[in-house]
Chains A and B, each alone.
Chain A
Amino acid sequence: MELTIEVPRLNDAHSDFVSMAHIWSQIDAAGDGVEVSFAFSRCGFLQPNAVVFLGGLARIIGHRGGKAHFLVGTMEESVRVNLLQNGFGHAMGAEEAPWQGNSIPYREYFIGDEDAVVQDLRQHWLGRGWINVSTALANEVVGQMWELFANAFEHSNTPVGVYSCGQYFWRRRVLTLAVADFGVGIPSNVRLYLGEPTLSGADALRWAFQRGHSTRVRSGPGGMGLDLLKELVCKTNGAMLVYSHDGCALIDQRGERYENFAPFFEGTLVQIRLLCDDKHYMLSKEVAATSPSQFF
């Protein structure tokens, strides 16, 4: 079977995530072995969340015995150049190697390789001088961002890896990073874990983002990762968008909003926005109050 999908302009508004879920639904409905051609004649821009989504979709299609074609001839020059610059094009078979610009490279991680993730985050995301952070603070932010990757690897059961990509928007001084997996999704995990199959997507995500809550598949304590990430985003006046299965969340300084999301998409897509305003980056001096010898 062959399928052609017109990719629209995809930003990071709610309607854009709805458009992406519709794309996922079409491909899912087509079943195994489908050949999908992605056309871009109506697409003027792709945010990093859309780039990781399309990359992951291509791998899912391949995993199901099909093939994805990106119709380069239909792309506006700006879209084509951006996809080449961030390495998406190269990952999808283009000969042209990526180069350095305002994009944070498109990456595909097939195992939870923390050293590779740390190097990428430090070198290509924080290390470009867009945010003026000390080494200690960079380590802190990288550790918190790793929670996102760790969560994807530990909980998603993704069959095709984890994808990331980012962009620096210099006019707005905003740095973004998107991470996607095509695993079971956070709400599904929560429902299975709690034994509540009718729990709404919004309530399931709300549960997952509370401190100490984890759908870990091992005994012992867990569930600190998303909480730490929330803290980073709020303290830096940033934002975190999470779309997972049939739930979505927006977390920023104004609070946490959880909603049901239809149509659903099988997997999890997270986009982090950080403001590149030095005055917000003061986390590392927050020393715990008690004596170092009394941790327990």
Chain B
Amino acid sequence: MYIKVKELVGKNAMTLDDGKAVYARILDPLTHGETVELDFDGVEVFASPFFNAGVGRLLGDLTSDTLNSLLKFQHLSDFGARVLRRVIENAKEYYGASAPQRQEIDRIVNDNAIAA
């Protein structure tokens, strides 16, 4: 699968919602072993919420080896690559926690979201 990210989110890949849109498009093919190419040509501005929701979250679904093998990034700016690496490093720590720990974190988060 080839996705031109600019066509999906525009020139700014910055928000959670944009990241979620990418995640929704690529999760299924990746889960079925299909190679996905994200082409960032024309995307100018990057921020961590986009990568957290679009890419970092994939580490909760698939292994690093699988993602290294199936998910390709094209035309990512130096800064975009830097943010992406930082997000992946952080996501690995998050998903590196044991499943019960993660469930507890998510339970607290959801409880607070409901309370708010």
Residue in A115, A143, A216, A290 whose CB lies within 8 Å of B79: A143
Contact in complex: B64, A296 (CB < 8 Å):
yes
B1 located at the interface, meaning its Cβ lies under 8 Å from any Cβ of chain A in the complex: no
A292 located at the interface, meaning its Cβ lies under 8 Å from any Cβ of chain B in the complex: yes
A residues 221-262 with Cβ under 8 Å of B? Answer: 221-225, 227-228
Contact in complex: B90, A224 (CB < 8 Å):
yes
Contact in complex: B94, A115 (CB < 8 Å):
no
Contact in complex: A228, B45 (CB < 8 Å):
no
B residues 68-98 with Cβ under 8 Å of A? Answer: 68, 71-73, 76-79, 81-88, 90-95
Residue in A146, A218, A223, A284 whose CB lies within 8 Å of B90: A223
A62 located at the interface, meaning its Cβ lies under 8 Å from any Cβ of chain B in the complex: no
B31 located at the interface, meaning its Cβ lies under 8 Å from any Cβ of chain A in the complex: no
Report the separation of the CA atoms of residues A283 and B72 in the bound assembly, to the nearest whole angstrom. Answer: 25
Residue in B14, B60, B92 whose CB lies within 8 Å of A114: B14
Report the separation of the CA atoms of residues A288 and B72 in the bound assembly, to the nearest whole angstrom. Answer: 16
Closest Cβ–Cβ distance, residue A188 to chain B (whole Å): 11
Contact in complex: A112, B82 (CB < 8 Å):
no
Number of A-B contacts (CB under 8 A): 137
Q: Interface size bucket, A side? A: 35 or more
Hey, which chain B residues are within 8 Å of A227, CB to CB?
Answer: 86
The interface size of chain B toward A, counting residues with CB under 8 Å, comes to 50
Hey, which chain A residues are within 8 Å of B73, CB to CB?
Answer: 292, 295
A219-B91 contact in complex given A287-B81, A294-B68, C-beta closer than 8 Å = no
Contact in complex: A224, B45 (CB < 8 Å):
no
Report the separation of the CA atoms of residues A276 and B81 in the bound assembly, to the nearest whole angstrom. Answer: 26
Hey, which chain B residues are within 8 Å of A99, CB to CB?
Answer: none
Contact in complex: B85, A222 (CB < 8 Å):
no
Digit string of A169-207 for contact with B (CB within 8 Å is 1, else 0)? 000000000000000000000001101000000000000
Looking across the interface, which residue of chain B has its beta carbon closest to that of A289?
B85
Report the separation of the CA atoms of residues A224 and B59 in the bound assembly, to the nearest whole angstrom. Answer: 16
Hey, which chain A residues are within 8 Å of B10, CB to CB?
Answer: 115
Contact in complex: B95, A221 (CB < 8 Å):
yes
Closest Cβ–Cβ distance, residue A113 to chain B (whole Å): 9
Contact in complex: A296, B68 (CB < 8 Å):
yes
Report the separation of the CA atoms of residues A219 and B113 in the bound assembly, to the nearest whole angstrom. Answer: 10
Contact in complex: B116, A157 (CB < 8 Å):
yes
Digit string of B8-29 for contact with A (CB within 8 Å is 1, else 0)? 0010101110000000000000
Report the separation of the CA atoms of residues A12 and B37 in the bound assembly, to the nearest whole angstrom. Answer: 47
Contact in complex: A228, B48 (CB < 8 Å):
yes
Report the separation of the CA atoms of residues A38 and B94 in the bound assembly, to the nearest whole angstrom. Answer: 48
Contact in complex: B68, A221 (CB < 8 Å):
no
Contact in complex: B76, A292 (CB < 8 Å):
yes
Hey, which chain B residues are within 8 Å of A283, CB to CB?
Answer: 79
Contact in complex: A139, B47 (CB < 8 Å):
no
Report 30 cross-chain contacts, Cβ distance below 8 Å, ordered by A residue: A112-B15, A115-B12, A118-B14, A147-B48, A150-B14, A150-B16, A154-B16, A193-B112, A211-B86, A212-B90, A212-B94, A215-B112, A217-B112, A217-B113, A218-B16, A220-B53, A221-B52, A221-B87, A222-B48, A222-B52, A228-B86, A286-B78, A288-B85, A292-B73, A292-B76, A293-B72, A294-B68, A295-B71, A295-B81, A296-B88
